[in-house]
Amino acid sequence: MLPTDNCLPKDHKQAQKVLNGLGLGYEKIHACKNNCMLFYKEYESLDTCPICNESRFKMTSQNRTTKIPQKVMRYLPLKPRLQRLYMSTHTATDMRWHKEKRVDDDVMRHPADGEAWKEFDRTFPEFAADPRNVRLGLATDGFNPYGVLNQHHSTWPIFVFPYNLPPWKCMKKEYMMMTVLITEDPGRSIDVYLRPLVDELKDLWTNGYMACPVCKEDVTSGWHAGKVCYLGHRRWLPWDHAWRDKDKEFDGNTERRLRPREWSGDEILDQLNRLDFAPFGKTISRIRPSTHMNWTHKPMFFELPYWSKLKLRHNLDVMHVEKNVFDTLVGTILDIEGKTKDTIKARLDLERMGIRRGLWMNRDNDKARRDLAFFCMKPNDKKEFLKFVSSVKFPDGYASNIARCVNVDGGKFTGLKSHDCHVFMQRLLPVGIRHLLPEDVVKPIILLSRFFSPLTAKTLRKTDMFQLRHDIVQVLCKSEMIFPPAFFTSMIHVMVHLPEEALLAGPVNYRWMYPIERAKPEGSIVEAWVQYESLTFCGMYLKDVETVFNRPQRNHDGGMRNEKLSVFAQSARPFGDPGRGESFSRNDMEVAHWFILNNCDEIMGYLYEHEEMMKREHPSHLVAQKHRELFPQWFLLSVNKLKSSNSPTYSDELYNLAFGLIRAELFSGCNVNGVKFLGVARDDKLCTQNSGVHVPGGGESTDIDFYGKLTTVVQLLYKDRYQVILFKCRWFDTNPHRPGSVKIDHGLLSVNMNRTWYDDDPYILANMATQIVYLDDPKAGSGWNVVQKMDRRNVYAVPELDPTDNNVDNVADQRLESSMENDAQTLRDTNVIQEPFQIQGVSSIEIPIQSITIDLGDLPRHDDAVGPSNDDDVHIEEAEEEEEEDWETESDDSDDNESYYSSNDE
């Protein structure tokens, strides 16, 4: 199959030698069977653990020459992986983006916009002075590589992310670095396996009553319904708030305490230094003295000189928090067995506290029963809600098919994953519950949904975060007056700290666990990861070869066009045969051409001139008609005059536009700006929804937004193969002055799909369209649909500073897409990133790929021009392994996996 002179390695061993030349390998370090220590550095030569005396090696046959270690961890050195970021001149440029191109205003788009980053810069000004110094985020999450074959095993990779990179790169897999792979759940002994990483970072630089890692021992917790629960959110209210004086509505007590104090890193370190902790290991007793409060050990990261100075050391993982809040909330309002917090124990707890008499157990003779609470849906309402969810469709690539998770007859959900809960919480829950629960219950639930929506946005405004910090306290206090104390798990409580962490560290999409969970390697994990790293690294230097840096995106739109007229320069790619019966008459072509002329920015002067001429020559009631009838011919004559006079304003594109349409072709779908649109006839047959269209109001209708559904994609062909892509849509009447057209309820906009307008003017340019989703409105009734707007996953609206302009106010706000998923011609960095690393004074020559070797020892160091690799700023993001089993397999005794927040203080 291959030519005789090919240079392909002969076998796997030879291929590994080629990869090893890149220096991106890994080390095997033996560990004690009981997780007491690593046989590393001064313990490398030992054969037994000095703590538990367990043998380092397994018992094998005496004839066996090689020894088999009891346990092995894999360590992937960090230095060469940081150095590779500076081996390309353009990735080195991106590593300075946070200082040279980031716009510093009230909007938080990047971790550098957070207060924690800025406080670190003030504390270590010498480090901050060089923008090439690396800031890292660290995260870990366990997973089971064997699936259902082994329910008790879990593997724990530890990743770091370079936060220096711009938003569209820093959380991508291509720049993610695995540093440690632990082959079993390490528990609190994870610090043992972090030792090599912490040593390298130092070298680069020269569950209980107190489960909240922020409040610590000042948290308000108590024993309710057989578990520890967290109340007392009135402490965050203003001192004179009326709710502080109420008792029966809450936990039976008034509230006079202030909010818990914030602990500095130096105070925590001083506290830890006064405590004695047992050594690590499975054989060591874990009885914790009361003086240790919520500390199980001193985190190893405090050995880093800067760790105690960080404003944010441990990060609450919003992904797991939102999932657990969703599980608790939906399980309770749907009264799902095993998921609801409104249990018999919870009702008895209310009796013990002497509050909420209406929720006490109903006793009849010797029997007691739990009646359905006012905050739970009735059986028929529950079935209606589940049917609503089963009818939902989302756009291609936005969410999974949530309808498949609905069990209407069983009255529950099965197989919901974290991202499903994320979409459900923010998109579906507010729409589906409005008419099924009392108003006093609906309001805080909708406010809770709106809390997560701006919190998880790609860009955050500080003013919005201050408002969220106020709103979440109100929501939690209102919830304390509705739900029993057993409802308030640790995950419900930690929401009060999320806005503060967003103010410190910026947008949560740089700190949550979705990238980690999607980066689970398969097969021989470390070998596969090293090979992936090497191929990604080489991909920066390969031309005319498809790599992760220039691979077309999922919904490829054809890339940027070179035409000058805006109507010809759309990035759109139509596809698919039109539906049966679709046609395009001569009258349709005239209507479409007139729309194009009125929406081509470059000929607005011609339109204005001709309209003024018509006003002078015709009565006012005929001006619009004559303008539309006579302009095309007048425009063509005007362009011909420009051509004959050799005017510099003449162009072939202008002439072809004036000449008019040649023919039209119809399609059923179109990819535009990386988004897939489908005509409604084709869309109705799928489990996704890609036909919803939104266009902001313009002209005389600036206060009215237009909502519709795409029916047909029209490709209009002009001379010399110029083309314009139009969407033909069915527009719903959204005039707020007409009764029965739109409704607004709890901030949700519903449109009446039985009423349409602009039937004679149905066209828009393809690049005008923004995709939306329609959800059935069960409250408004048949024909009414709630409009849901959404952001695309890999689209970033991030302004940048122009490094050539000294005026920092001159900012070009650009619509940026992930360089991993865009066409090569539309990428910001695809073409330039492939240029080889160039050293001044050394000529470039073409080298056969099979002869490439790299000596990492010769890479530039801190005092060289390429960039430093001796400093970094780390904050931790660590979460326990997420439970993704079906709902029916979980029980209330599991406490809903409430340890899903990132903290070393487990």
Find which of 464-478, 529-543, 792-806, 828-842 is predicted with most confidence, using mean pLDDT.
464-478
Residues 457 and 330 in one domain: yes
Query: What pLDDT shows up at residue 701?
Result: 62
- The pLDDT confidence band at residue 852, using thresholds 50, 70 and 90, is very low
- Whether 692 has a pLDDT exceeding 90, the answer reads yes
Q: Which two tokens stand for residue 171?
A: 């959380």
- Token pair listed for 650: 């003449």
- Residue 140 confidence (pLDDT) above 60: yes
- Give the Cα separation of 788 and 428 in Å (integer): 10
User: Are 162 and 24 in the same domain?
Assistant: yes
CA torsion, ordered 320, 468, 777, 695, to nearest 10 deg: -110
HSE-up (13 A, CA, CB side) for residue 2: 7
Q: Measure CA of the first residue to CA of the last residue in the chain; give whole Å.
A: 56
Q: 863: buried, middle or exposed (CB in 10 Å: 19+, 13-18, 0-12)?
A: exposed
The per-residue pLDDT for 551 is 79
Does 860 fall in a domain? no
User: What pLDDT does 287 receive?
Assistant: 66
675 vs 544, higher pLDDT: 675
Instruction: Kindly state the average pLDDT of the residues 172-183.
Output: 90
Domain assignment present for 699: yes
- Residue 528 sits in the same domain as residue 577: no
Q: What is the pTM of this model?
A: 0.73
Pair 428, 402 in one domain: yes
Listed range (60-64, 318-322, 777-781) with the worst mean pLDDT: 60-64
Whole-number percent of the chain with pLDDT over 70: 84
| 55 assigned to some structural domain | yes
Lowest mean pLDDT among 378-382, 459-463, 675-679, 857-861: 857-861
pLDDT attached to residue 150: 56
* Whether residue 493 sits in one domain with residue 623: no
Residue 18 has pLDDT above 90, yes or no: no
Closest of 154, 785, 747 to residue 426, by C-alpha: 747
More confident residue, 667 or 2: 667
Q: Does the residue 185 lie in any domain?
A: yes
Is 532 within 8 Å of 727 (Cβ atoms)?
no
Query: Which pLDDT score, from 0 to 100, does residue 32 have?
Result: 93
- pLDDT on residue 702: 64
The pLDDT of residue 815 is above 80: no
In a domain, 28, yes or no: yes
- Does the pLDDT at position 19 exceed 80? no
Query: What are 547-575's pLDDT values in tens digits?
Result: 887 777 788 887 778 889 999 999 899 99
Q: What pLDDT is attached to residue 278?
A: 75
pLDDT at 404 over 60: yes
pLDDT in tens, 426-475: 999 999 999 999 999 999 999 999 999 999 999 999 999 999 999 999 99
Average pLDDT over residues 786-797: 81
Query: Is the Cα torsion angle 833, 835, 837, 841 positive or negative in sign?
Result: negative
Instruction: Check residues 649 and 541 and name the one with the higher pLDDT.
Output: 649
The H or E element spanning position 92 is: helix 89-94
Separation between Cα atoms, residue 31 and residue 75, nearest integer Å: 12
Does residue 459 form part of some domain? yes
Between the alpha carbon of residue 879 and those of residues 316, 342, 371, 906, the distances in Å are 9, 27, 37, 10
Confidence of residue 541 (pLDDT cuts 50, 70, 90): confident
Query: Do 718 and 659 share a structural domain?
Result: yes
Q: Is residue 801 part of a domain?
A: no
Distance between CA atoms of 560 and 403, rounded to whole angstroms?
37
Residues 413 and 484: their CA atoms lie apart, in Å, by: 23
Indicate whether 837 belongs to any domain. Answer: no
Asked if 702 and 656 sit in the same domain, the reply is yes
| Calpha distance 423→389 (Å, rounded) | 12
Residue 611: exposed, middle, or buried by beta-carbon count in 10 A (0-12, 13-18, 19+)? middle
Q: Which domain holds residue 57?
A: 15-207+517-542+873-878
HEC string of 533-578 equals: HHHHHHHCCCCCCCCCCCCCCCCCCCCCCCCCCCCCCCCEEEECCC
Residues 485 and 618 in one domain: no
Report residue 790's pLDDT band, with 50, 70 and 90 as the boundaries: confident
Q: Compute the average pLDDT of residues 488-509.
A: 92
Tell me, what's the pLDDT at 452? Answer: 94
Instruction: Name the domain boundary from 734, 758, 789.
Output: 789
272-304: pLDDT as tens digits: 888 878 777 766 666 667 667 677 788 888 889
- Answer yes or no: do 395 and 538 share one domain: no
**Are 533 and 582 part of one and the same domain?**
no
Q: What is the pLDDT of residues 721-754, one digit of tens each?
A: 899 999 999 999 998 888 888 999 998 999 999 9
pLDDT digits (tens, 9 = 90+) for 89-130: 778 889 999 999 999 988 999 999 999 999 999 998 888 888
* Average pLDDT of every residue of the chain: 82
Q: Of 622, 619, 568, nearest to 597 (Cα)?
A: 568
Distance CA 466, CA 113 (A): 15
Out of 251-260, 693-702, 729-738, 822-831, which region has the weakest mean confidence (pLDDT)?
A: 822-831
**Of 486, 522, 413, 547, the residue nearest 834 (C-alpha):** 547
For the chain, what is the domain count?
A: 3
430 vs 152, residue with greater confidence: 430
Do 578 and 722 share a structural domain?
yes
Domain identity same for 535 and 577: no
The whole-number pLDDT of residue 390 equals 93
Is there a contact between 736 and 751 (Cβ–Cβ < 8 Å)?
no
